[in-house]
Structure 1
Amino acid sequence: MKRLLNTALAYMILGLISGLFYREYAKATDTVGVDSQLSTLHTHFLALGMLVFLIVLALDAVFSLSGRRSFSVFYWTYNIGLLVTVVMQAVRGFLTLDGQDPTSTSAAIPGIAGLGHIILTVGLVALFVALRAAVAERSRGDSERSSVTA
């Protein structure tokens, strides 16, 4: 559980730093008001990083997810997928603020971003596999306790 809390904290710090960085970078390059992916980087770190891991922390406290293999798969694949996704979002944002069209610069940018989203999806599926098994285990335990008391 401590690892989940530390992960949420790390994403909170990344989210706050990326928001501050975007604001200062846009002011320094005189691109304030230019719509780019860099402007929403902090939101992705805070929502998909910090909030998701705080929710997973609560689920782990209730269902003891962290000892499961599928939970380990979730943890690592989700983190890798999120980092790949936000790195490509940052690359796309920098290109936009530098006056380039990211879609015509390189086809690798959307391809790698798509790969990050696929890895995120694999992580979320693994989370639901762990959660489903934990809920089923808990339900079996509750039904066994109720049959003993009856």
Structure 2
Amino acid sequence: MKKIFNAAFTYMIIGVLSGLFYREFTKASDFPSGEFTQLGLVHTHLLTLGFIVLLIILALDKVFGLSGTKLFSWFFWLYNVGVILTAGAMVWHGSLTVLGDESNAMIDGIAGLGHIALSVSLVLFFLSLRKKVVTGKAVTGKAVTEGAEATSPSR
């Protein structure tokens, strides 16, 4: 769980800094206000995919105890690779747009690999979650039930 928390916190910091970079880089480059660049999307992608989604996964891990499994480990690392590849390609493409250069197929390919990694990792996550949900092994529910039985008065 600590890895998930640290990753979410890191994405929150990087997401906020990417918004600052977008604002300052476009201003310093005299990029026309209102023109589209992918730099403006990096901020929301990192905050949503990196910060918010990982906080939800942290809560699900707390309830179902997912993080000890091999399937979840594969999900976690592949998901992070996907977010980093996708966001990195967006920064690269957006920076080229601001500088007036053309994007190329290589950047699109890297972004595509990032999206594929994200998709595969989410399938792995749902397989990991399904395993715990179907078997009914919620960590919190079991602890609450046992705690209630231990503290209830005997009659």
The normalised TM-score by structure 1 is: 0.88
Question: Shift of the alpha carbon at 1:139?
Answer: 6.4
- Counting matched residue pairs gives 140
**Equivalent pair of 2:64/2:137 in contact (CA under 8 Å):** no
Question: Shift of the alpha carbon at 1:100?
Answer: 2.2
Q: Deviations over 1:72-111 (max 9, x none)?
A: 0110000001100110011110111111231xxx211111
Identity of aligned residues (%): 50
Q: Which runs of 5+ in 2 are unaligned?
A: 146-155
Aligned residue runs from structure 1 range 1-150, under 5 A? 1-31=1-31, 32-102=33-103, 106-138=104-136
Distance, in Å, in 2 between the alignment partners of 1:107 and 1:93 is 14
Moved over 2 A (4+): none
**Equivalent pair of 1:34/1:97 in contact (CA under 8 Å):** no
Distance, in Å, in 2 between the alignment partners of 1:50 and 1:57 is 10
SS at match of 1:101: coil
Code of the residue aligned with 1:7 in structure 2: it is A
Distance, in Å, in 2 between the alignment partners of 1:11 and 1:113 is 18
Code of the residue aligned with 1:128 in structure 2: it is F
- Structure with bigger helix share is 1
Q: Which runs of 5+ in 1 are unaligned?
A: 146-150
> In angstroms, what is the RMSD of aligned CA positions?
1.9
